Structure formats: structure tokens, C-alpha cells
Structure 1
Amino acid sequence: MDDEYLDAFEALIGDDEIPYSRDLNNRITMQRNKLDGYLFFDLWSSDVAGVADMSSLYPPQSLDMLRDLYIQVITAESDVLKQRCILYYLKKDFSEEAADEFCESTAFPATQKKLVDGIYALDRFDFETAMRNLTAPGVRLQFTEKMLLTLLQYSDNGPRYVRMLVFTSRPKLDSKNCKKLYLEALSRISVSSALEFVRTTTPIEDRAEYLQSMIGFCLSTGKPSSAYDIANLPLLDYEEAMILDYLMSKPDASAKNILLVRELHRGQAGAAREATGPMKNQISFGTKRTTQWAEMARKLKTNPAQIL
């Protein structure tokens, strides 16, 4: 190894204690496993700095491995700023103070700092910090689909964070799965917003698929208001037909529940009363899965029109 590299590495580490204990390394590895085998740092290092095997280099198991990782970064075919982004991420493992000193000594740009801080926090499921940084002005997002999926899967505020991220940063939702993740977030927050998204951003040939997904996402929230929200959707005739065809083709209880709500919405109280017959026992259980329908069922026993 060239003396120049050794001196630069020693200068980077300084007097800081190497943080990569067995406990820290296990926690990083566990996070990688939760993220389907790749941290955001792994993907970002490959895309930004050309370090393609970061998942095998990080976290380092020893000082020698940390030195090898450093050499991989500074000899990669990328500019100095991109290399410093990777090194700043690593310095954050030492301490926030060490990372801040690195920024000051290298005149690290504020926007890049926000981006790295956001990725670092996202890899550790510190979602509030991640969102504060990733939605900052000038920060350009990558791996949008993985970000949306991670927020929905692991954050209690996932739907709200997803909407905030898309609204603020305007990333391209350029895959069907990416659109469906955003649709899921909207459906859990506001079914009317979800419907508007389907109408304005999805091709007509895929419209039925997205509408069906929207109904499924609304049901999955478990909110008591779900039935009322769906009942009051201002559907166009072709949208109504798409949704009813889908529900009538499904044998499960959730589909029957929605059919009931739509009959009430259309003023078909007799048909709704008839539809509740086979659902009586299921609704009366009041389980977590069916509580959103319990109040509706009680009202229906006395006056079906009350639900409208």
C-alpha cells in the first residue's frame, strides 16, 4: 500500500476509537437483512462512487478491513466529492462530532450532507431524521421504490411520510410497483386523494387494476370510517362498473362488505338488507378485522337509510 494512502487513512481516523464492535456490526447486518439484503448505503455507494461490493466491505470486521474499505473508496472511478460522501457516512459511525469535523475540514456541501444524513438515518430506521433531511431543498432522491416500501413496511407514520416525500421531492414514480406503493399510502390517508391519483396518473388500460388495489388498501387500514369513505366515493359510471365487477368476482367477506356499502350508496336499501344476511355472524364478532363494519351493521338493523 502506498505511503500516501496510509497517511491519508491515518489522517481520516485521527485519534478516534474504531467503532466497529461486534454489537454494532451485528446491528448493521440485521438492518441489511431487513432491507432485503442491501442497505441504501450499499446501493448508493455503487451508484455514486462505483464501489460495487459494499455489502461485503461494510461493516469492517477489523482495522485492516476498514483500511481496505477506505482504499476501495478513494481509488474508485469517481470524483472527490462522491468519495467524500461515502467517507462522511463512515465517519458518522464514529460519532456525530467526528462527522461534523470531517465536514468542516473538507468544506462538505450542505446539500450533500443532508442527503448522506438522510440515507444514514433511513438505514437505521430513524425515520423522522431521514424525512427531515431527504425532503430538504435541493436533495435529489434515488431508489424511490425502495424508500417508499421501507417507509410503509417499517414506519408507524409510513403513509404520511410517503406522501410528504413524494409531494416535497417530486421523484419519478416510473414503475407500476412504485405507483402502487404511493397509491397505498394515499389510500390509507385519504381515499378521495387516492382516487384522484388513479384518475390523473394511470393509463386507462390499467385503471381497473389500480382501482381494485385502491379498494384493497382502504380495507386494510382497519379504520372505522373506511366503509363510509368508500360509500361516498364519487365514482364515474365506468369506475363503478370496474369496481363492482371486481368485487362480485371475489368470494371473500371484504368484497361482500364493500358490495353492501355500494348498494347503500346507490340507495338500494332492500338489496343491502338482503346482502347482510350471510354476513350477520361475521359482523357481530367485532374483531379487529371487522370492527369497521360493526356500527354500519347496527344501523342497518333499524334503518338502512341512516348509513347514507
Structure 2
Amino acid sequence: MSVLYPPKGDDGLRELHKRICETPITLHYKHCLIFYLLRDLSPHYKTSPEWATQFASSVHLETRFWTFIEGIWELDHLQFDNAVGHLTHPSIIPTFPDEILLTLVNRKHHQLSGMNETDILPLAYYNCVKPPLTTDAVRQPFVRYLAARNVTETYYWIRARPEHEHRQLLEALVEQTLDHRAWGGGEPNEIDIIYPREEKALELVGLPFSEQEEEWIEIFLTEGKGRTLKGAEDTVLMRKLAIGSLQSFATGKGKQGKAHHGVDWKILKDGVKKGLGPRQGEQGFKA
């Protein structure tokens, strides 16, 4: 069927129509396909009501099918606002929800979409339809989209997901927060101004990670893929300070780094060591 669409000329359209009619599928599925085709043709032939509407009414196509196909047609034609309005209608049974969500999240790659992280359409669709997110192919882009909007809310969203997903989703959250490429280059965009990268990073190090999550993230930032991220070592050290793991902070690998207002990591470590005094040797000591 894919080689016949879009049809080339009148003969192509007749052949496609014939194939649809002869295909051994339920009648209402055939009606849906023909409705989609007529929706393609309607803008070129001004009739009132338009051909697609006339057809749907004449064959008594159920509202839920009519609404869904309308939404899919608008999604295919990059009319995203209208598409989400139809695809979240309470009358329809969610169909291909993961694929639709992925299309909404990835539409930023299309030059005509004008999407950035301030757009709410993927979140609106997710909240209305609750797609299952059955594969990494949809989970990873969606968690990155969420993290660009709100680090803390994304963390609690991850905690509510099935346990076997937690580690990979947490790593995606950390990577999205620290990777400068997530914000693009050049002039700061709208999301940078509303929700600055520095604010996201500070929010990340203050999250209430469990011991298991703590271990996963430290491994990710010191041994895993995240070790190449800008600020990976800084994040690990900041986290140790944030949770009061002073012994681990003071005895960890040295990092000189750039001084800010005359203070660098070496000076901070020396200060912590002096403050710990005889407690330096106490394993697991926390403030």
C-alpha cells in the first residue's frame, strides 16, 4: 500500500481506491482510509460540506474513528495544535499513543514546527492519553523533554515508573541537565532564559536520591557515559557537599578546576579536611 501512496494522478488514485476496497479488512477501516484520502483532496476542491465530511456522514462513520483519522491527518500535515485537540478527544480509544507522543516530541527537528522546550503539546498529550512508553525509543526522548522543563518534577516522574526503567531514565535526566548541547549553541533560547542551566544543575544535586540512585549516578558520572559531560566531576563533588558526605568529599580524587572569587575545589577540600580534624578517618561520616 505504501508504494501507492500518495497516488500519482487519476489512475493512481483509482488503483489505490480499488486496493482499499479489495483488502480483507473490516469495513469501517476501509471507510477510515477513504476518509483520509478525501481529506487530502478536499482542500483542492472547494465544496460545502467538504468531500471528507460528506463521505463520513453518508457511511455513518463513528465519531471516534472520524476524530482519530482527522487527528492523524493533521499530525501528518504538521498541524500539531489541531492534531492534539483531536487525538486527545474523550471519544477516541488511544491508538498508537507511543508513536504519536514520539512524533510530538521529535517535531522540533522539523524546520516548520518551531518547537522548543517551552511547548506544552507533548506533555498535554501525555497527561490526557497516558501512553505506556513501552520502549526506550520513546522513553528517552520524553524524559529529556520533561527534564528540560523541570528537573525536580522529572525525578519524581521517574520514581513513579517501573523499577527496571529507573537507572536509564535517571542517567537521561542527568545527561540532559549537564550536556550543554541540550540547549543548543549561539544565543540563549527561551528556555535558557526562563530556566537557566545553572539553576537546573543546582536543582539536580539537591534531589533526594536513594542510596541506590546515588550509586548509579556517581558511577555514570565517573566511569560511565556521563564522565565526558561538562561539569561531571563538579556535579559529583557538589553532590557530596549537598548531602554532607564530607569524608568522601575530602578524600576524593583531587580536582583543581577554575577558581571562582578566589575559591577552587582544592581550597574547599583543604577547608573541609581542617574542619573534620580527627574525624577524617571515620568511614561514612556525614555532617
Aligned residue in 2 for 1:160? 120
Aligned residue in 1 for 2:55? 102
Q: How many Å separate the matches in 1 of 2:261 and 2:219?
A: 27
Matches within 5 A, 1:122-137: 122-137=75-90
Q: How many Å separate the matches in 1 of 2:146 and 2:137?
A: 14
How far off its partner does 1:157 sit? 5.1
Q: 1:75 to 1:253 in 2, by over 3 A?
A: same
Q: 1:132 to 1:219 in 2, by over 3 A?
A: farther
Q: 1:74 to 1:187 in 2, by over 3 A?
A: same
Aligned residue in 2 for 1:68? 15
How far off its partner does 1:124 sit? 1.7
8 Å contact 1:187–1:218 — kept in the other structure? yes
Aligned residue in 1 for 2:32? 85
Q: How many Å separate the matches in 1 of 2:22 and 2:103?
A: 32
**2:185 is equivalent to residue 211 of structure 1:** no
Q: Aligned to 1:95, what secondary structure does the other structure show? A: helix
Aligned residue in 2 for 1:141? 94
8 Å contact 2:178–2:232 — kept in the other structure? no
Please report the RMSD computed on the Cα atoms of aligned residues, expressed in angstroms: 3.0
Q: Aligned to 1:253, what secondary structure does the other structure show? A: coil
Matches within 5 A, 1:42-61: 53=1, 55-61=2-8
Q: Aligned to 2:15, what secondary structure does the other structure show? A: helix
8 Å contact 2:64–2:93 — kept in the other structure? no
Q: Which runs of 5+ in 2 are unaligned?
A: 44-49, 109-114, 184-191, 269-287
**2:205 is equivalent to residue 241 of structure 1:** no
Deviation string for 1:28-60 (max 9, x for gaps)?
xxxxxxxxxxxxxxxxxxxxxxxxx2x201111
How far off its partner does 1:89 sit? 0.7
8 Å contact 2:98–2:131 — kept in the other structure? no
How far off its partner does 1:64 sit? 0.6
Aligned residue in 2 for 1:287? none
Aligned residue in 2 for 1:113? 66
Could you tell me which of 243, 255, 262 is aligned with 2:232?
A: 255
**2:136 is equivalent to residue 176 of structure 1:** yes
Aligned residue in 1 for 2:204? 230
8 Å contact 1:160–1:185 — kept in the other structure? no
Aligned residue in 2 for 1:266? 243
**Number of positions where the alignment pairs a residue of Structure 1 with one of Structure 2:** 231
Q: Aligned to 1:136, what secondary structure does the other structure show? A: coil
How far off its partner does 1:239 sit? 1.2
Aligned residue in 2 for 1:189? 149
Q: Aligned to 2:160, what secondary structure does the other structure show? A: helix
How far off its partner does 1:109 sit? 1.9
Q: What's the TM-score once normalised by structure 1's chain length? A: 0.65
How far off its partner does 1:115 sit? 0.4
Q: How many Å separate the matches in 1 of 2:233 and 2:29?
A: 55
The farther-off stretch of 105-114 and 57-66 is 105-114
Residue type of the partner of 2:138?
C
Q: What's the TM-score once normalised by structure 2's chain length? A: 0.69
Q: How many Å separate the matches in 1 of 2:217 and 2:262?
A: 25
How far off its partner does 1:242 sit? 1.4
Aligned residue in 1 for 2:281? none
How far off its partner does 1:277 sit? 3.9
Aligned residue in 2 for 1:3? none
Q: Which runs of 5+ in 1 are unaligned?
A: 1-52, 281-296
Q: 1:264 to 1:75 in 2, by over 3 A?
A: same
How far off its partner does 1:99 sit? 1.8
How far off its partner does 1:278 sit? 2.7
How far off its partner does 1:268 sit? 7.3
Q: Aligned to 1:59, what secondary structure does the other structure show? A: coil
